[in-house]
Amino acid sequence: MSISGLQVISILNKIASVIEENKSYLCELDAAIGDGDHGINMNKGFIAIKDKLKDNNGGDIGEILKKTGMALVSNVGGASGPLYGTAFMKAAGEVNGKENIDIEDFIKILEAALGGIMMRGKAEIGEKTMIDAIAPAINAMKEALKGGLAPIDILKASKDASIQGVEYTKTIIATKGRASYLGERSIGHQDAGATSSYLILNTIYEQVKGIKEGMV
Amino acid sequence: MVGIVIISHSSKVAEGVKELALQMVDDVLIVAAGGTKNNELGTDIEKIILAIKQVYSEDGVAILFDLGSAYMNAQMAIETLPAQMQKKVEILDAALVEGAIVVAVESSSGKNLIEIQEAVKGQCLHKIR
């Protein structure tokens, strides 16, 4: 199955709603070990994305993702702006000019996004960041693809691995970002950035499932 | 003269650092880029781009910053500049207040960007890894 540009926009709009619904939750997670603005900042960014994409005809998915990235860079005050912004802009480069994308394109998109986040944040796996939710998701998708699973089950594998990654962030010390100033006190708390990454991946799964079942 | 940009999550911090530096030497090109566009806590790429352009000359620009996302937004701001400008804008890893004073004094005495980078090494906080 493939996903069209207009469906990508519809998924991004749904992600915006999910971020809005979880605005306070993300702020609470962030406030425990950071500066407490992750939900507010992400919500600001996704409101800008909805506005930037409202008249887009969906003809070029690369362009859609690039605009998404730029909206995040310009409208999010915290670290998630440059990080997610770079992620979407790097992702855009993988699907320039494409009207439709399939599951293999999506894996490439996520890999480029992760590469962008790691480059911008100079971070690795195991530092209690969004990387801990995204990297396992990519690995799970690649394995699922190799195992011959259907695209929707590959997406399910990504969100399942991602939530496990979020759980893992509770067990480790933050060594990047504002939480790193708290050292061992950061243990026991889940990372807000990893959580928003999971929310994004889970929404993509839910929406594609809906499209497949003819509900969206 | 090397221009100076002060980036902080707080516009008050950025303005205060600029004030302290100007108290030492009042003839430097220094501009504060603090807070977001709605004047909330955070950093803003457009404010940073504007600030760099305000103090830019062939002599270059030194950027000082406070915390994580300030550095990332400074990098992204530089990436939007034309290639010849990019080469002359440096983000310095230094304690914000002390670093700003060192950079201001050096810039005021006509030091170039390389000499300024060398002079501020004593204030390095290893924020850029």
**Residue A61 pLDDT grade (very low, low, confident, very high; cuts 50, 70, 90):** very high
Q: Is B125 within 8 Å of chain A by CB?
A: no
- Pull the structure tokens for residue B33: 């880029």
Question: Taking CB atoms and an 8 Å limit, are A79 and B45 in contact across chains?
Answer: no
Query: At B81, phi and psi to the nearest 5?
Result: -80, 155
- End-to-end Cα, chain A, rounded Å: 15
Active-site residue, B9 included: yes
Q: What is the pLDDT of residue A58?
A: 97
Q: What distance in Å separates residue A144's CA from the closest CA in chain B?
A: 34
Give Cβ neighbours of residue B82 (< 8 Å, ≥ 6 apart): none
Sheet with B89-92: strands ordered across: B30-34, B3-8, B61-65, B89-92
The domain limits of chain A are 3-212
pLDDT tens digits, chain B, 129 residues: what are they?
Answer: 999 999 999 999 999 999 999 999 999 999 999 999 888 999 999 999 999 999 999 999 999 999 988 999 999 999 999 999 999 999 999 999 999 999 999 999 999 999 999 999 999 999 887
Q: What distance in Å separates residue B75's CA from the closest CA in chain A?
A: 9
Fold of B3-123: Rossmann fold (3.40.50)
Mean pLDDT of A172-180: 92
Query: What's the burial of A115, exposed, middle or buried (CB within 10 Å: 0-12/13-18/19+)?
Result: middle
Pick the closest to residue B9 from A177, A125, A153, A215 (CA basis).
A177
Q: Is A193 within 8 Å of chain B by CB?
A: no
In words, the CATH class of domain A3-212 is: mainly alpha
**Residue A78 pLDDT grade (very low, low, confident, very high; cuts 50, 70, 90):** confident
Q: Is A197 within 8 Å of chain B by CB?
A: no
The domain limits of chain B are 3-123
What is the spatial distance between Cα B64 and Cα A68, in angstroms, rounded to a whole number? 29
Q: What is the pLDDT of residue B129?
A: 76
Which 3 state secondary structure label does DSSP give A75? helix
Q: What is the pLDDT of residue A216?
A: 61
Q: Which of B73, B76, B129 sits opposite A122 (nearest CB)?
A: B129
Q: What is the pLDDT of residue B68?
A: 82
Q: What is the pLDDT of residue B19?
A: 98
Residue A24 has pLDDT above 90, yes or no: yes
Residue A142 has pLDDT above 70, yes or no: yes
Residue B50 carries which side chain, given as an amino acid letter? Answer: L
Q: What is the pLDDT of residue B113?
A: 98
Q: What is the dihedral of CA A112, A117, A120, A122, to 10 degrees?
A: -110
Question: Taking CB atoms and an 8 Å limit, are A77 and B44 in contact across chains?
Answer: yes
Top residue of A27, A72, A74 to mutate, by most chain B CBs within 10 Å, is A74
Tally A–B CB contacts below 8 A: 44
Q: By percentage, how much of chain A surpasses pLDDT 90?
A: 94
What is the spatial distance between Cα A202 and Cα A107, in angstroms, rounded to a whole number? 15
Mean pLDDT of A162-190: 94
